Amino acid sequence: MFKGSIVALVTPFKNGRIDEDKIRELVEFQIRSGTQGIVPCGTTGESPTLTHEEHNRVVEICVQAARKRILVIAGTGSNSTAEAVALTQHAAKAGAQGCLVVTPYYNKPTQKGLYLHFKAVAGSVKIPIILYNIEGRTARNIETETVAKLARDCRNIVGVKEASGNLQQVKDVRRACGERFIILSGDDILTLPIMELGGVGVISVVANIVPQDVVSMIAAFNAGDKHKASEINDRLIPLIKAMFLETNPIPVKHAMGLLGMCSAELRLPLCEMEEANAEKLKTALQHYGLLKGQLV
């Protein structure tokens, strides 16, 4: 169910408020492009600076706009277990097909604490839960033993978005959790290497602007045409690198602003790109053939 190209959707703002109409446009764009799923209110969706009301509203808009034509996997993680439970329960009630729950950040729980946190969240709903492992942002890695224990003990913990950058860990999780456990790349540049190890897709940043190419790359890989998949990936790599010239989602929002897809507006403490990096990003977009007033 949760496989292929899944976009980590940006949250467009307009004069400090969420731009509801633009969210709907972006969902339609992803559906037309063949994207398999969207993740509202994740890292790329600037969830840390959304109020609870805004967070819930963004999920509701995406579910309503999707009309079950595309999967909606709501980002519902928090460093507070009670808050994560509340956000997850709301997403389930709103009609999301699943939730992406990030490792609690800042408070640095033990592995036992992580287990109890995710177990509490999973136990509060019936819809599938995907763990989101990104130590670089949260200061905690979900160790393989913890992932395996959660997969055994919680029937609706069905997979992990693996953004540790550690391919050995991906191998270990596949071995410990079995073939049915879903592994999704959390890093665009590692999508193909992770799929070689048994991953089934990506939760992608770059697919905000080139969804068809990410869809095509994964489809080629799954069809056994690894040469074509590699060619698409090689073309994507400079653009992917440009998406991370500064902290995500600063560059992708800047790119979407240049392409007329939505405002580049961010919320502090995120701020507009440094001029030198903005020029590098613009060059990458030009080389890719995107700056022609047309969505690709």
Catalytic residue among 132, 149, 253, 288: 132
Backbone angles phi, psi at 15, to 5 degrees: 55, 45
Give yes or no for residue 1 having a pLDDT over 60: yes
Render pLDDT for 122-177 as a digit per residue (tens, 0 to 9): 999 999 999 999 999 999 999 999 999 999 999 999 999 999 999 999 999 999 99
**Residue 46, token pair as written in the block:** 């600037």
CA distance 273 to 280: 11
**Residue 132 appears among annotated catalytic residues:** yes
Complete DSSP assignment for 125-194: -SS-EEEEE-HHHHS----HHHHHHHHHH-TTEEEEEE-S--HHHHHHHHHHH-TTSEEEESSGGGHHHH
Q: Which helix (H) or strand (E) holds 201?
A: strand 201-204
In the chain, what are the helix, strand and coil shares in percent, each to the nearest 5?
50, 15, 35
pLDDT, residue 293, reads 44
Catalytic residue among 149, 161, 253, 288: 161
Chosen CATH of 4-226 out of 3.40.50.12780, 3.20.20.70, 3.40.710.10, 3.30.470.20: 3.20.20.70
Pick the closest to residue 131 from 99, 153, 109 (CA basis): 99
| CB burial of residue 17 (10 Å; 0-12, 13-18, 19+) | exposed
Buried b (16+ CB within 10 A) or exposed e, 51-90: eeebbbbbbbbbbebbeeebbbbbbbbbbebeebbbbbbb
CA distance 187 to 204: 7
Residue keyed to tokens 């890695």: 141
Q: Is the dihedral of CA 102, 107, 250, 89 positive or negative?
A: positive
For the chain, the structural domain boundaries read 4-226
Give yes or no for residue 295 having a pLDDT over 50: no
| CB burial of residue 29 (10 Å; 0-12, 13-18, 19+) | middle
| CB burial of residue 42 (10 Å; 0-12, 13-18, 19+) | buried
Render pLDDT for 41-73 as a digit per residue (tens, 0 to 9): 999 999 999 999 999 999 999 999 999 999 999
CA distance 182 to 32: 25
Q: What is the mean pLDDT of residues 190-194?
A: 97
Q: What is the mean pLDDT of residues 224-253?
A: 98
**Residue 161 appears among annotated catalytic residues:** yes
Whole-angstrom distance between the N-terminal and C-terminal Cα of the chain?
A: 26
Backbone angles phi, psi at 141, to 5 degrees: -95, 140
